[in-house]
Amino acid sequence: MHLRSKLPAVGTTIFTVMSKLAADVGAINLSQGFPDFDCDPALVDAVARHMREGRNQYAPMQGVPALRQAVAATLEALYGAAYDPDGEITITSGGTEAIFDAVAALVHSGDEAIVFEPCYDSYVPAIEVNGGRAVVVSLRYPDYRVPWDEVRAAISPRTRMIVLNSPHNPTATILSESDMTELTRIVDDSGVTILSDEVYEHIIFDGARHESMARYPALRAHSFIVGSFGKTYHVTGWKVGYVAAPAALSAEFRKVHQFVTFSTNTPVQHALAEFLADGRGYPGLSAFYQRKRDLFLALIEGSRWKPLLSRGTYFQLLDYSAITDETDMDFALRLTREHGVASIPTSAFLYTQTAPPVLRFCFAKKDETLESAATRLRDL
């Protein structure tokens, strides 16, 4: 049978490839971003309690009210943004679903969406499978700053959306206040919609402030903001996230969400609502991960790996140019097979640039995992 693929250039995601290879060869897995330690046992107890109490049927399509209220209260407390939990917050089955739904809701056939490479690997396929065209603006190694003049030049009458991500996966950079000023000018001039992937909002280092779109009324009015409980509560496998957006955008978003997943896991939403309403989890998260970042860096200090500054997320880019001139993919595979440490090559997030000599390592790991990995990395 001849199939005409809608995504001919897409294979299996790098996360699945590298995590499988790590498992097959018994490597330490610092590739796919997930903690190797457990969440708060009280959170598991809460899910079990809600299951035992019979909250096992479909949740409302928009999400459990208590969780939507807790999300709205958190956005208000952290960013001074008033979102209506009924009409402006939607609970999704993870950040990736939220990103897909937002794109599907807005991008018409032939529309353009601006993305910044390296970018998370679901953005471009989400745009293309919905008939859109991804217009790629390059963030360049080693600073990965947003080139705002290039962004302005990339805007056309067909531009429907700009996809932003801060703290940024995989570069671990963050948007600054002056970036937000530049973005505001562009949005004022073009009326373009923003898809803001803020799933690492609570993991930001060295005292920096997370520049959420929610802080800026002029940006908030045009934005889908995507959040994730997986990152915040160490439960990436539960696949629960949310979207905050003004009522008109949320209404279009829900038209898609209701036919993609309909609704999200009920007992998990109830448990997360309790934790979030109590302000648990996120307040200490930056300090928790900053300590892990610093431990990982201290452990590889003096080796031939050169760290780039990680300002947020739980990822660290390491420059390997003093070790080899292999491509990042070749080296990532060899590093996994021969040295027992799995990472992510940033070429998986690139579309137009040649990959720089860096690999992405996830430090959301037990100290002993980081110690074992560092011992292996130091040998190179």
* Contact positions vs ligand GLN (CB under 6 A): 15, 32-33, 169
Element (H, E) at 318: strand 315-319
Is 14 or 47 the residue whose CB approaches ligand GLN more closely? 14
Is 85 or 230 the residue whose CB approaches ligand GLN more closely? 230
Cα–Cα distance measured from residue 156 to residue 112, given in angstroms and rounded to the nearest whole number: 8
Q: What are phi and psi of 318, to 5 degrees?
A: -125, 130
Give min distance, CB of 191 to ligand GLN, in A: 30
Q: Are 34 and 236 in contact (CB under 8 A)?
A: yes
Is 32 or 212 the residue whose CB approaches ligand GLN more closely? 32
Give min distance, CB of 182 to ligand GLN, in A: 26
Is 203 or 273 the residue whose CB approaches ligand GLN more closely? 203
Is 33 or 85 the residue whose CB approaches ligand GLN more closely? 33
Is 90 or 169 the residue whose CB approaches ligand GLN more closely? 169
Is 226 or 273 the residue whose CB approaches ligand GLN more closely? 226
Cα–Cα distance measured from residue 194 to residue 323, given in angstroms and rounded to the nearest whole number: 40
Give min distance, CB of 99 to ligand GLN, in A: 11
DSSP letters, 131-195, are T-EEEEEE--TTT----HHHHHHH--TTEEEEEEESSPTTT-----HHHHHHHHHHHHHH--EEE
Residue with tokens 């208590």: 66
Give min distance, CB of 260 to ligand GLN, in A: 16
Q: What are phi and psi of 60, to 5 degrees?
A: -55, 145
Is 33 or 227 the residue whose CB approaches ligand GLN more closely? 33
Give min distance, CB of 29 to ligand GLN, in A: 11
DSSP state of 93: S
Is 37 or 379 the residue whose CB approaches ligand GLN more closely? 37
Q: Are 323 and 252 in contact (CB under 8 A)?
A: no
Cα–Cα distance measured from residue 202 to residue 190, given in angstroms and rounded to the nearest whole number: 30
- How do the residues of the chain divide into helix, strand and coil, expressed in percent and rounded to 5? 45, 15, 40
Residue type at 91 in one-letter notation: I
Give min distance, CB of 142 to ligand GLN, in A: 20
Give min distance, CB of 169 to ligand GLN, in A: 5
Residue number closest to ligand GLN, CB atom: 33
Q: What are phi and psi of 10, to 5 degrees?
A: -95, 135
Give min distance, CB of 21 to ligand GLN, in A: 14
CA 317 and chain centroid, separation: 16
Give min distance, CB of 364 to ligand GLN, in A: 9
Ramachandran quadrant class, 94 (left: phi over 0; alpha: psi -120 to 50; beta: rest): left
Per DSSP, what are the bridge partners of residue 227?
A: 242
